[in-house]
Amino acid sequence: MLDSTIQQRRAVSRKTILPLCFVLMLCLLLWLSAFGDVAPALAQSPPPQELLVRGDHQYPPYEFLRNGQPTGFNVELFQAVARVMGLNVQISLGPWAEVRAQLENGEIDVLTGMAYSPERDNTVDFTTPHSTLFFDLFVRRDSELHDLEDLTGKSIIVQSGGLMHDYLCDHHPEATVITVPDVPDALRLLAAGQYDGALLNKMQGLYFINELGLSNLTHAGLELLPRRYSFAVAEGNIELQQTLDVGLAILKQTGEYRQIYDKWFGVYEKGDQLALLRRYWWAPVGILGLLALSLLWSIILQREVRSHTAALQRRHQELALLNRVIMAAASTMDVTKVLEVLCRELALALNLPQVAASRVVPGQDYVEIVAEYREPGRPPALGDRIPITVPSTAYLLEHKQPLFIANAHSDPEGTGLEEIIKRRGIASLLLVPIVVRHRVISTLGLDSITLRKFTPEELALVESAATSVGQALESAELHQELQLRAEELEATVAQRTTELQRALAAAQAADRAKSEFVSNVSHELRTPLTSILLYLRLLEQGDPRQHGAYTQALLREAKRLQYLIESLLQISRLDLGKVEPRFEMVDMNHMALTLVNDRQQLFASKGIQLRCSLASAPLPIMADPDLLEQVLTNLLTNAMNYTPEGGQVEITTRLVEDNGQLWVTAAVKDTGLGIPPEEQARLFLRFQRGSASEILNVPGTGLGLSISAEIMKLHHGHITVESAVGKGSVFTVWLPVTS
C-alpha cells in the first residue's frame, strides 16, 4: 500500500516537474533571445539565400544608426516581417544616394523605406504602404503663425533642396526662404528665436524636438503633401514584393504592427502608450537570479566590446578621413578645393565649429585665408589677411611645428590676432603648418569656441592629414602653373593664327579686288577708246559731209573717257585716304535749291518736272560743299537719266531723329523704272549698273554711286535707297548733326 502510494506520488511529481522544467527552459531561451541569436539558431537553420536589405543611415525615427547599429521604425518593422515570413536577411544602412543606386542597379534586394512617386516606380517596385509621410509647420509656442495663408514678411526655414524648399518657392514666393542642411539645425535656429517657422517632415521634427529638449516648439498640424511610404524591392522581383505584402498583412492582423508603430510614433501622436509599458511580467520568478547574473555578465562583456569597438571606430574614422582627403586631392588639381575638403573633414572629425586654411605665397608679407568650413551662423574667415610678422604666424613659418593656444584671450601667442579671435569667438586655437620640402605652403587654424585641449591622438590625426595634403598641394601648384603656361601659349597661338587668317583673307580679298578692278577698268577704257578710233578712221575715210557728226561723236567719247579717268583717280585718292574734306557750315536747303534752279532748264528739255520741297527752317550742317554738291549732283543726274519723259523728280530736305541721333537728310525721288530688290544690294559697288541702264540705253561708268558712298563715309554719314519696280526710287543722303 505504501509502495503504491509512493509510486503514485512519484508519477504525479514527474507529471508536474517535467512540464514546469519545460516551461522554465522555454522562458530561459526566450530571454536569451533578447541578448543574442541563440533562439533563432536553435529554432531553425538559416534559409539557403540571404536577402541584402539597406536603408538611409540618417533618417530618424524611421531608420538610422544608434551606436553603429541599424534601428528605427522601418528597420524594426522589416525585421518583424522577415521573422514571420521566415526570411534570412542582412540589414545595413548607408547614405541615401548610395543605397538607392544599389537597389536600382540590382546590387541589393530591398530598401526598408522609400516614398512612392511615378518616376521611382519606373526603376523599382513598391509594396503596400506601411506608413504615410507628412510635412508640417513648426513654430514657437508663443508664435501667432498657425497656417500658410499669408507668409508676407515671414522667414521660413527649410532643408536645402528638399520638397518643402520647392513647395515654398512655387506656392509662396512672398515668403523669405532660409535653407539649412538638416532638421536639427532648423529646429535649433527656430528655438533660439530666429526666423518665424520651419516646414519639415512631421515625425522627424517631433522626434528631434523630443531628442533635443526644445520644449518651446510645437507644430501646426497641417499635414502637407502626404506621401505613401513603402518597402521597395528590385524592379521585377514580384515574388519578394508579394512576400513582404503578406508579412505586413500578418503583422497588422496580429496587432504587432500597431505595437511597433506605437513604440516609435505613439508618443508623438498621443496614442496608446500602455503598449510601451508592457514588460515580461509573466516570466517565472525562479529564473530572476539567473537573469541577473546573465545581465551582469552581458553588461561587462558589452563594456569590453564597446571599448574595443570605440577604439576601432576611431581608427577607422581616422583612416577614412585620410582616405577622403587623399582621394579629393587626387581627383582635382585645384588647391583651394583640396583645402576645403581638408577643413571640412577635420571640423567634422574633431567636432569643431570652424576650420580655416591659408595660402603662403613666397615674397608676400601676409597669409590669406582661401578655404574654410564653418557651421551655420559662424562669421566667415575667407579673405582674412594675417601679416607674417604676427608671432603665431612667424612661429609656424620658422619652426614648421604646430602651435596650440590654450587660451586665445590671455596667452601671448594670440598677440596680433585679437580682432580675429574676438570676431570669431575663439577660446582655444590650434595652428598647424602644411610643409612641403622644408617650405610652409599653407597653414591650418582649428577654432574652438570653448576652452579645449587636443589629445595626442587628435594632434596626430591633424598632422597626418596635413602631411598627406602637402604633397597633393605641391602637385596641384605645379599642375596649375603648367596649365596656365599651356593656356597662355594656346591663346598666343590662337591669336597669331587668327591674325594670319585675317591677313591672308585680306590679301586674298585685295588680290580679287585688284583683278576685278583691272578687268573692269580695262573694259570701261576700251569702250570709249574703240569709239574714238572708229570715228578717227571715219574722219580719214568716211563721207566728208559727215565730218561734223563724227567730230561731235569724238568729243562726246573723249569727255566720257575724261570722266572715267577722273572717276578712277578720285576712287584711287579715296582708297589711299588722300581726299581730305574741307568742312564748313553749309545750309542744305540753300544747296538743294541752287541745284534745282541750275537744272530746271535741262530737266525741262527732257520733259521731266523737277521740284523742290525744303524744310521750313534752315538746315546748317558741317560738310565739304564741293563733295556734298558732287553727291547730290550725281543723284539728280541718275534720277534724270532713269526717269522717262513726263515723269517727276523731287528733292526733299528734312531734320530727322533716328535712335537718339539728329540727321540732316536730302532725298532725291524719281518716278522712273525702279530697281529690282536683287540689284539694290550691289548698287554701291564699283562698276555696277542696273538692268534699267540697258533698257533705257543710259551711258555711264558704274562709279558714281560708289564714289558718293565713299564721300558720305568721310562725312560720317551714309546713303540709303528705297525702290520698287515700276514705281520709282528714293535715294536719301544722311548727315549727322554734331554739337
Domain end residue (candidates: 430, 462, 482): 482
Shared domain check, 362 and 459:
yes
Cell (9 digits) for 476: 596641384
Query: Whole-model pTM?
Result: 0.35
Tell me whether residue 390 is in a domain: yes
Shared domain check, 714 and 584:
yes
List the CATH number of the domain containing 450: 3.30.450.40
Domain of 91, in residue numbers: 41-130+230-287
Tell me whether residue 213 is in a domain: yes
Count of domains forming the chain: 5
Shared domain check, 460 and 595:
no
C-alpha–C-alpha distance, residues 132 and 225, integer Å: 10
Block residue for cell numbers 580695262: 522
C-alpha–C-alpha distance, residues 24 and 295, integer Å: 17
Shared domain check, 159 and 48:
no
Cα torsion 482, 488, 492, 498 to 10°: value is 110
% the chain with pLDDT above 90: 42
**What are the CA-CA distances from residue 305 to residues 308, 513, 717 (Å)?**
5, 93, 93
Tens-digit pLDDT profile for residues 197-256? 999 999 999 999 999 999 999 999 888 889 999 999 999 999 999 999 999 999 999 999
Shared domain check, 459 and 382:
yes
Tell me whether residue 664 is in a domain: yes
Positive/negative CA dihedral, 412, 417, 423, 424: negative
Examine residue 677 and say whether the peptide bond preceding it is cis (omega within 30 degrees of 0).
no
Tell me whether residue 501 is in a domain: no
Shared domain check, 137 and 1:
no
C-alpha–C-alpha distance, residues 172 and 433, integer Å: 49
Tell me whether residue 246 is in a domain: yes
Domain end residue (candidates: 448, 482, 516): 482
Tell me whether residue 525 is in a domain: no
Which uninterrupted H or E stretch holds 43?
Answer: helix 38-43
Shared domain check, 457 and 400:
yes
Counted residue by residue, the chain has a size of 739
Shared domain check, 167 and 143:
yes
Mean predicted confidence (pLDDT) in 470-498: 82
Domain end residue (candidates: 179, 213, 228): 228
Q: How many CB atoms lie within 10 A of CB 673?
A: 22
Tell me whether residue 162 is in a domain: yes
Mean predicted confidence (pLDDT) in 684-690: 68
Cell (9 digits) for 513: 579686288
Best mean pLDDT range from 188-202, 300-314, 479-493, 549-563: 188-202
C-alpha–C-alpha distance, residues 652 and 666, integer Å: 6
DSSP string, 310-350: HHHHHHHHHHHHHHHHHHHHHH---HHHHHHHHHHHHHHHH
C-alpha–C-alpha distance, residues 347 and 354, integer Å: 6
Shared domain check, 88 and 186:
no
Mean predicted confidence (pLDDT) in 24-52: 48
Tens-digit pLDDT profile for residues 55-106? 999 899 999 999 999 999 999 999 999 999 999 999 999 999 999 999 999 9
The separation between CA 438 and the C-alpha centre of its own chain, rounded to angstroms, equals 40
List the CATH number of the domain containing 649: 3.30.565.10
**Could you tell me if 632 and 595 are in contact, meaning their C-beta atoms sit under 8 angstroms apart?**
yes
Tell me whether residue 324 is in a domain: yes
Whole-number average pLDDT of the chain:
82
Residue 545 has pLDDT above 90, yes or no: no
Q: Quick check: helix, strand or coil at residue 256?
A: helix
C-alpha–C-alpha distance, residues 218 and 118, integer Å: 33
Helices 335-350 and 288-331, axial angle in degrees (round to 10)? 170
Shared domain check, 266 and 164:
no
List the CATH number of the domain containing 280: 3.40.190.10
* Phi, psi angles (nearest 5°) of residue 602: -65, -45
Shared domain check, 169 and 206:
yes
Tens-digit pLDDT profile for residues 658-674? 888 999 999 999 998 88
C-alpha–C-alpha distance, residues 677 and 340, integer Å: 64
Shared domain check, 29 and 1:
yes
pLDDT at 272: 35
Q: Choose the weakest-confidence range: 73-82, 90-99, 518-527, 621-630.
A: 518-527
Q: 51-89: string of b/e by CB count within 10 Å (b at 16+)?
A: bebbbbbebbbbbbbeeeebbbbbbbbbbbbbeebebeb
